Amino acid sequence: MQMVKNSLIAFIIAWLGILVFMPKQELYYKLEEELAKHEIKLNEEKMNEGVFSLNLKQVTVYFKGINVATIEEVNLFTLLFYSSIEVQSLTMDDSLKAMVPQEIERAVAKHSVLSSLEVSVDASGSFGSIVGNIDLNERKVHLDFNESKNIEMLKPQLKKDEKGWYYETSF
C-alpha cells in the first residue's frame, strides 16, 4: 500500500514537474516554425507563460505574407491528458469579407486522451455557431452550423442535410 502511495506521489510530482518546467515559449516558437513551412506566420504583441498555459495577446496572422486576421487573445492550455486552444475575438481582414465570415467571437479546440484521435471544435461569431470535430484517424473535418446567420459567402463550400448546413473536408 505504501508502495502504491509513493508511486502515486512520484507520478503526480513528475506530472506537475513536466508541466511546470515545460519550456512553453520555446515550444510555441517550434509551432511557429512548423506553421511557417506552410507560409503561415503569427506576430504576437504579448506572451505570458502560466503554469499550465501560454497566453498570447494581439496576434496578427499572415498567410503568404498577407495580413489575413487579427486575434485579440489566444490561450494554449495543457494538462497533457487534456489540451485546448482558445481563440477570442478573431477579426478577418476587411478585404476577405466576401469570402469568409468577418468575426469569430470565440473558438475552442479541445483534445482529450479519452478520445485521443479526435479534436472537438466549438465556435461562435457573425456566422452563428459551429460545433464539430476533427477526426485525426480518418483525417476529416466535420463542422455543423447551428443557428447559421450570415453564411451566404460560405454556402458554396457547405452541404445541407436535415439538420442544416455543414462543412466537411479531408486533409
Partner 1 sequence: MKHLFKPQAMKGLWSLLILLLVIKFIWFLVEILWLPTSGMEHAEEKSVKALYYRVKLSPNKAPAPTVEKKPVKVVGSIKDIILLAIYNASDVTVITVEYKKKTKVLSKGDEINGFMLEGAGSNFATFSKKSKTYKVDLFKSKKDAKSTSSIKKVPVTSPSKPVAVSKEAAGEIVDAGDHKIIDKSLFDHYAENMDDIYENIGITEVKEGKDLKGFRISFVRKGSPFAKLGVRKDDMIKSINGQEINSYNAAFNMYKNIQNAKNLTLIIIRGKEEMELEYEIN
Q: Of 52, 62, 77, 167, which lies in the binding site for partner 1, with binding defined by CB under 8 A?
A: 62
Residue 30: enclosing H or E segment and its boundaries? helix 24-37
Question: Residue 166, interface with partner 1 (CB under 8 A)?
Answer: no
Question: Residue 162, interface with partner 1 (CB under 8 A)?
Answer: no
Q: Of 38, 64, 159, 163, which lies in the binding site for partner 1, with binding defined by CB under 8 A?
A: 64
Residue 33: enclosing H or E segment and its boundaries? helix 24-37
Sheet holding 66-78, edge to edge: 40-49, 53-63, 66-78, 82-92, 103-112, 115-125, 128-135, 140-146, 164-170, 159-161
Question: Residue 91, interface with partner 1 (CB under 8 A)?
Answer: no
Q: Residues binding partner 1: what is the number (CB under 8 A)?
A: 32
Report in angstroms how near the CB of residue 90 gets to partner 1 at its nearest: 17
Report in angstroms how near the CB of residue 143 gets to partner 1 at its nearest: 21
